[in-house]
């Protein structure tokens, strides 16, 4: 790429519609050449944030910088940013080539040169020989690649994706996801990517910004988010988690003893004061046993059981309430009503500050 990748920075940005804030006092930085996901449930403000970067919405307060330059007051046409829309937004009255060449054409590049640039990008996304087709004559996956080529053709400082996989069928999603990641790495692009699918976010990103109720709930690398969720919301939203009550003992260094039912574990206290705390336990960290083990364990009874091919899913009623357990042992299924014991694994259990 001719241009080097640029950073995106939000400084205390808010977007209000009347009294309602869609984005409330949000600050973050996207480092150059990284792929950052905006993740959250619908209505959390993630798409508005993306549109604020694009200039399709104007910030009510705060500053937006792209490549260190203040673009807060610039319109979409004046920002060096391209977007791949959820619906792809391919112009139905133009051919594939005309669609991709649109950006250079409207900025005054001669037609021949614009078409040459467009063909180059179509080649990059692996769509050769489709130049003269209309968008309606392409499959969903192909349409999306045209949309990506069209967004790339101006070699923007930042590329934005708005739920790019939502209109594709399940099988295609993994492939397109990997294609986008490869493209981002080979072209060294700065990418902001909106999704509501936490698995997709974990798989594709350098960093994830989790949003809830118009504010940022947590920012971090995928592993950080999964292993050290900052709040109950994040622990539950990223993957599945059983939230149980526990008692935290005196701090010793950065760990502390935690009593979860009859079981005691040494966990990172993460700055939480001794006393009653909430602990998040991943379903795969509850180890299911048919007979009483020697070490202390949680006691319970299977309430529901489901077979999912690769694993079993159980709901177990314990003294801590109902918990959700994933068990790899599909050849030894347990029936509802059976008494079971639950041990605690070494990973996937964390104190949640709240």
Structure tokens that stand for 90 in this block: 């391919």
E strand residue ranges, the chain = 8-17, 20-30, 35-39, 61-66, 69-70, 81-84, 158-162, 190-195, 207-212, 215-220, 242-248, 255-260, 263-268, 275-281, 286-289, 298-307, 312-318, 321-327, 339-344, 349-352
As a whole number of angstroms, the distance between CA 171 and CA 320 comes to: 38
Nearer to another protein, 102 or 193 (CB): 102
Least Cβ distance, residue 229 to another protein (angstroms): 33
Structure tokens that stand for 3 in this block: 């241009």
Give the footprint of another protein on this chain (CB under 8 A): 54-56, 58, 73, 75-77, 79, 81-83, 85-87, 89-93, 102-103, 106-107, 150-151, 154, 160
Least Cβ distance, residue 74 to another protein (angstroms): 9
As a whole number of angstroms, the distance between CA 193 and CA 165 comes to: 11
Nearer to another protein, 70 or 254 (CB): 70
Least Cβ distance, residue 3 to another protein (angstroms): 15
Least Cβ distance, residue 102 to another protein (angstroms): 6
Inter-residue long-range contacts of 74-80, CB under 8 Å, 24+ positions, other chains counted: 79/54, 79/55, 80/6, 80/154, 80/156, 80/157, 80/158
Least Cβ distance, residue 26 to another protein (angstroms): 20
Of the candidates 216, 202, 173, which has an alpha carbon nearest to the alpha carbon of residue 27? 216
Least Cβ distance, residue 159 to another protein (angstroms): 10
Nearer to another protein, 1 or 106 (CB): 106
Nearer to another protein, 160 or 288 (CB): 160
Nearer to another protein, 96 or 202 (CB): 96
* 228 CB-side CA count, 13 A: 10
Q: Strand order in 298-307's β-sheet? A: 286-289, 339-344, 298-307, 312-318, 321-327
Nearer to another protein, 180 or 302 (CB): 180
As a whole number of angstroms, the distance between CA 348 and CA 354 comes to: 18
Least Cβ distance, residue 79 to another protein (angstroms): 8
Nearer to another protein, 122 or 248 (CB): 122
């Amino acid at each position: 790429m001719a241009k080097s990748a640029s950073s995106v920075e939000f400084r205390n940005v808010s977007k209000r519609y009347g009294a309602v804030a869609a984005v409330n006092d949000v600050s973050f930085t996207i480092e150059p050449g990284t792929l950052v996901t905006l993740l959250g449930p619908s209505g959390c403000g993630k798409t508005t944030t993306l549109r604020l970067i694009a200039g399709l919405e104007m910030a009510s307060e705060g500053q937006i910088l792209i490549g260190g330059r203040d673009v807060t007051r610039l319109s979409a046409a004046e920002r060096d940013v391209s977007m791949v829309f959820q619906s792809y937004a391919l112009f139905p009255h133009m051919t594939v080539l005309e669609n991709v060449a649109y950006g250079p054409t409207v900025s005054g590049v001669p037609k021949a040169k614009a078409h040459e640039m467009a063909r180059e990008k179509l080649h990059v996304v692996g769509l050769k020989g489709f130049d003269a087709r209309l968008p309606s004559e392409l499959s969903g996956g192909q349409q999306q690649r045209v949309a990506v080529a069209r967004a790339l053709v101006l070699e923007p400082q930042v590329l934005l994706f708005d739920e790019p996989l939502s209109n594709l069928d399940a099988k295609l999603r993994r492939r397109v996801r990997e294609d986008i990641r490869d493209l981002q790495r080979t072209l060294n692009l700065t990418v902001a990517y909106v999704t509501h699918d936490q698995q997709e976010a974990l798989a594709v990103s350098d960093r994830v910004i989790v949003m809830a109720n118009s504010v940022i709930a947590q920012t971090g690398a995928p592993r950080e988010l999964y292993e050290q969720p900052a709040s109950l919301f994040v622990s539950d939203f990223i993957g599945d988690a059983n939230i149980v009550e526990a008692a935290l003992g005196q701090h010793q260094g950065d760990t502390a003893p935690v009593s979860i039912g009859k079981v005691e574990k040494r966990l990172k206290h993460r700055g939480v004061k001794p006393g009653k705390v909430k602990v998040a336990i991943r379903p795969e960290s509850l180890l299911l046993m048919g007979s009483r083990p020697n070490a202390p364990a949680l006691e319970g009874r299977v309430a529901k059981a489901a077979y999912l091919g690769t694993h079993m899913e159980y709901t177990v009623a314990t003294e801590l309430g109902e918990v959700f357990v994933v068990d790899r042992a599909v050849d030894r299924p347990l029936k509802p009503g059976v008494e079971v014991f639950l041990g605690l694994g070494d990973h996937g259990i964390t104190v949640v500050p709240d």
